[in-house]
Amino acid sequence: MRIGELARRTGTTTRTLRFYEAQGLLAAQRSPNGYRSYDEHDLRLVTEIRALQAAGFSLADTRPFVACLRAGNPDGDACADSVEVYRRKLAEVEACLSQLTDLRTDLTRKLAAALAREPHPTCTVQETP
């Protein structure tokens, strides 16, 4: 298939596919007239990249998954390097959740303290231009 069809089938743009190629994530075959040509395996690679990016992975994070698929594995996460990316990403998410939990606790405490003081209902804040 040509680049336009691959873009359509993966829900992306030809520009994005060229970028993936420039980053070494996608390798197009070239026809004698210079057109890029892709097959179903390339479709699978782009689908994997897009799914990982939609889940919050950076383009660099997708490299082990792409390499795993290129090695002939049925899934991009069948290799140890991919599993390590999952572990690292999960640790990042856990750290963010911890920070958000701390923030929620602090805001809940501040709100409770403010309500305990029974704020005056006519007190308003004047906005400055």
Question: Which pLDDT tens digit goes with each residue over 18-76?
Answer: 999 999 999 999 988 889 999 999 999 999 999 999 999 999 999 999 999 999 999 99
Q: Which of 9-23, 65-79, 95-109, 114-128 has the lowest mean pLDDT?
A: 114-128
Query: Measuring CA to CA, which residue among 28, 50, 31 is closest to residue 39?
Result: 28
Domain 3-116 classification at class level? mainly alpha
